[in-house]
Structure formats: C-alpha cells, structure tokens
Amino acid sequence: MRLVGMQRRQVSKEYHVNVKVVSDRRKLMGGAVGNFGEQFDYTAYALLAPTLAVHFFPQADPVAAMLSTFAVYALSFVARPFGGMIFGYVGDRFGRLSVLQWTVVLMGGGTMLMGFLPTYASIGLVAPALLVCCRLLQGLSIGGETTGVESFITESAPDGRRATWMTRVMAWAYWPAAIVAVVILGIRLILGDQAFEEWGWRIPFLAGGLVAGIGYYLRRTLEDPEEFVEAMAEARSKDSAGSDQASQGLGAAVQVRRSVLLVTLLQPPMAVGAYLLTGYMYTFVAVEGGLSPTRALLSNAAAVATLAILLPLMGRLSDRFGRRAMFAAGAGWLFVMAVPAFLLADAGSLVTAFLGQALLAIGVAMYGSAAFVGWVELFPTAMRCRGHGIAYNVSVALFGGTTPLIATALIGLTGSPVAPAIYAMALIGTFGLAGVLLVPETKHLNLRSSIYDDSASRGAAEQAAVAKG
C-alpha cells in the first residue's frame, strides 16, 4: 500500500509539473506571437520605405519623398505615448490581458488597411493622409502592447529568471525584421521586380494582419499573472480595512516619478541602436553602400537574426550578473562600435554590410537584456502599466521613431556616412551614461513594491543548495 501511495504521489507530482510547463509555454508563446505581429508591420514599413516613397509621395524630388516616408514612420510614434497612457490605465485597472487582446486587434486592422490603400497616383494627397491615419492607429496600439507584454511576462516569470523569460519573448520583436526580409525577397523573386513594385509590396501588410489574428486567438486562452491578481486583492483588502492610503500614495507617486526619469535616461541607447538596425540600415546599405535591394535585405536580415539569437543568451547573463552590468556593457559597446559599424556597412560588399550591422546587433542585445526587464522592474505592480507606459513611449517617440529621419537628414546635410554614428554616440554619452550611473540594481527588486529585497536572492540560493543536496 505504501508503494502504491508513493507511486500515486509521484504521478500526481509529474502531472502538476507537466501542467506548469505547458502553462509556462503558453504564456511565453502568447507574449511572443503578439509581439511578433505587432512588430511585423513596423518592419515591413521600414524595409519597404523606398517603394512606399514612390507610391505615396510626389517624385519630383526623390530625396524629399524618402524624407517624407520616414517622417510618416516617425509620426506614428507620436501616438505611442497616448497608447501608453490609455492602455496603461486599462492594464492596471482591468488586467494585463485586456491590453494584450485589444492592442493586437488594433495593430492587425491598421496593418491590413495599409495593404489596401490607394496610391498618390490614384487619389493625390489623400493617399499620404490615409497612410498617416494607419500609422497613427498602429502607434496607438503598440504603445499599449509593449507595456502590456513586458508587464505580463515580468510578473509571470519565476524568481531569478525574469530577464531570461523577457528576452525569449522580446527576441520575437526582432525576428520579423529577418522574416519579413526573406518574405519580401521571396515575393520579389516570384513576381519579379516590376510586379512587386507595382502591387506585390501590398502582400506583406496583408500577411501582417493575419499574424495579428493568430496572436489574438492565442492570447484569449491566457490568464492574468498571479502577481497582478494578488496585488489587486491586496489593494482591495487595504481599502476595505480603511488603511491610510494618503502616505502610501504619496510615496508611490515619488517612486514612480523617479522611475520615469530613469527610464527616460536609459531609453536613448536602446532606441537609437535598435531603430538604426531595424528601421534604417537596410536603406543605408542600399543607398549609401550601393548594394542591390536583394543584398541589402539579406545583410539586414542576417544582422537582425543575430540580434534575435543573442538576446536570450544575454538575458541569462543579465539574470546572473545583474541589470547594471549589462546596461554598462551594452552602452559601452554601442558607443565604441558606432563609427566602425557605419564604416563597414558603407564599404559596399555583402560581407562588410553584415559585419557592420552585426556590431550594432551585439550592443543592442547586451543593452536590451537589461533594458526590457529592468524598465518594468522599476515600477510597483499596482502602477506598472501606467508608469512604464508613459515613460517608455514618450522616450521611444523622441529617440526611436525619429532615428531613421534624423539619420537620413544628417547624411544629406553633411555628406558623411558616419554622421548617424556620431548622433548615436552623442545620445549614448549623455543620456545613457547618466542613466547607467543612477539606476539601482533591479535584479532582486520585489515586484509588488519595487523595493530591493534580497530574500529572492536567498530563496534562489536555498533552492539551488537543496537541488544539489
């Protein structure tokens, strides 16, 4: 009988372990697939910028048309802070999944609409106006998506593995840059350059809408993290007990303001590095480096794939060595390698174009391993979506969305291919350095209060000792 009882307990234990593994995979997959869908359109727009410039703007001045295309790309980021505020409130009030389901639907709708838009040749100035409307809708949705998914994954991850989980999910924000490039290349090869330029460019946007639909379907099966549910129950319990909320609210407000400042300082290195790589370098190696569209796509796809592969590996290092170490390493790498990266990318060969972009990818992976999770850890659970949504989206609108436009304008003004690198170095050297010096180590922050608590570290050490014993 004792043997039978032991076998039953073993079977029950294995069952619960298997259920937890499946649940964890669903959480990661739900975050990743929506993240993939959200970024799909942004990537398609950036990679198809030269084609969109031809179809949606007057061609009397090709340079002005390209600048206008990147201006629309930057304009979509204006809507991101509003999306962060709206969906930040929804996320903290009604739950993280309420945000994730709505944002993926809005993005999918805006993406598919872009695939059906008439061109400038058909309806004149109405065409770029409609393009702006689609981009604003997408900016609104992604402003909530980033905050929602990062809060959801951080609160769902086991202690000591928050960066590992986060980077596994956020890597799928970069795979679209590689996958869309391959999709565009395949469509070009099948249709031919002429047919692609005439109408084939619409296909990636239509496909992006389908990806978003899959993301919505998967997210419907998820539940809000226990951390969030328990924090809301705790808040309701304090309210019903009549506890003093004034001093607590004041303390939380001061803490959130400090966290907003830190995120604003820490954002520029990530924003400039990532958006140079995913939003501009394809155009740079094609226009400045003289590569054919096919070679430019291949070099950019390979570099962004490198970033997507490295990011989860760097996430493990972030969980081991801490956020501050990875912030410093990533910012230092991007500062030193910015100029060599652009010189290599401008050299005119497929190999050097890849190597130059890969240098940026390595630095972004280092920095991102701390940034994606560290920004969220700075805010307490009850105000995480609102605080992060405002700080992150305002900063990324200022420094990320404008990067391709500023890079194009700087080269036009100076005639130097390294002008964007100098711009990146200036931002990293001012904002990034200040942020790295001021940010606390958040590896063992208590998510509920966002106050440092080494009990998580002790708990992880005790579990490791038990496992070894």
pLDDT at residue 195, rounded to an integer: 92
Domain 30-223+252-468 CATH assignment equals 3.30.420.40: no
For residue 241, name the pLDDT band (cuts at 50, 70, 90). low
Q: How many helices (H) and strands (E) does the chain have?
A: 22, 2
pLDDT at residue 309, rounded to an integer: 96
- Asked whether the predicted pLDDT for residue 19 surpasses 70, the reply is no
For residue 238, name the pLDDT band (cuts at 50, 70, 90). low
Please state whether 95 falls in left (phi above 0), alpha (psi between -120 and 50) or beta. Answer: left
| Whether 40 contacts 180, CB under 8 Å | yes
pLDDT at residue 375, rounded to an integer: 93
- Asked whether the predicted pLDDT for residue 231 surpasses 70, the reply is yes
Max avg pLDDT among 38-47, 58-67, 194-203, 358-367:
358-367
Question: Of 10-19, 32-41, 54-63, 258-267, which gets the smallest average pLDDT?
Answer: 10-19
The average pLDDT across 427-443 equals 87
pLDDT at residue 351, rounded to an integer: 95
Give residue-wise pLDDT tens across range 103-114. Answer: 888 888 888 888
Identify the DSSP state of 382: G
As a whole number of angstroms, the distance between CA 457 and CA 463 comes to 10
The average pLDDT across 4-16 equals 45
Please tell me which residue, 252 or 25, carries the higher pLDDT value.
25
Strands 445-446 and 451-452, bridge-based pairing: antiparallel
The average pLDDT across 341-345 equals 95
The average pLDDT across 149-177 equals 92
pLDDT at residue 32, rounded to an integer: 84
Sign of CA dihedral 138, 303, 26, 165: negative
pLDDT at residue 107, rounded to an integer: 84
As a whole number of angstroms, the distance between CA 301 and CA 95 comes to 35
- Kindly state the tokens that stand for 155: 């609160």
CA angle (385, 306, 335) in 5-degree steps: 75
As a whole number of angstroms, the distance between CA 381 and CA 226 comes to 11
Please tell me which residue, 289 or 208, carries the higher pLDDT value.
289
DSSP string, 38-87: HHHHHHHHHHTHHHHHHHHS-SSSHHHHHHHHHHHHHHGGGHHHHHHHHH
- Asked whether the predicted pLDDT for residue 245 surpasses 70, the reply is no
Average pLDDT score over the chain: 83
- Asked whether the predicted pLDDT for residue 305 surpasses 60, the reply is yes
Please tell me which residue, 329 or 234, carries the higher pLDDT value.
329
- Asked whether the predicted pLDDT for residue 333 surpasses 60, the reply is yes
Task: Give residue for tokens 């708990």.
Answer: 459
pLDDT at residue 20, rounded to an integer: 53
pLDDT at residue 250, rounded to an integer: 46
Q: What is the pTM of this model?
A: 0.81
Please tell me which residue, 18 or 115, carries the higher pLDDT value.
115
DSSP string, 159-221: TT-HHHHHHHHHGGGTHHHHHHHHHHHHHHHHH-HHHIIIIITHHHHHHHHHHHHHHHHHHTT
Question: Of 1-5, 351-355, 420-424, which gets the smallest average pLDDT?
Answer: 1-5
For residue 385, name the pLDDT band (cuts at 50, 70, 90). very high
For residue 214, name the pLDDT band (cuts at 50, 70, 90). confident
Question: Of 21-30, 327-336, 364-373, which gets the smallest average pLDDT?
Answer: 21-30
- Asked whether the predicted pLDDT for residue 317 surpasses 80, the reply is yes
The average pLDDT across 196-213 equals 87
Question: Of 42-51, 97-106, 279-288, 326-335, which gets the smallest average pLDDT?
Answer: 42-51
- Asked whether the predicted pLDDT for residue 5 surpasses 60, the reply is no
Which residues, 6 or more positions from 260, have their beta carbon under 8 angstroms from its beta carbon? 387, 390, 391
Rg (CA), the chain: 23
**How much of the chain, in percent, has pLDDT values that exceed 70?**
88
End-to-end CA distance of the chain: 29
pLDDT at residue 201, rounded to an integer: 92
pLDDT at residue 362, rounded to an integer: 97
Domain edges within the chain: 30-223+252-468
Please tell me which residue, 434 or 354, carries the higher pLDDT value.
354
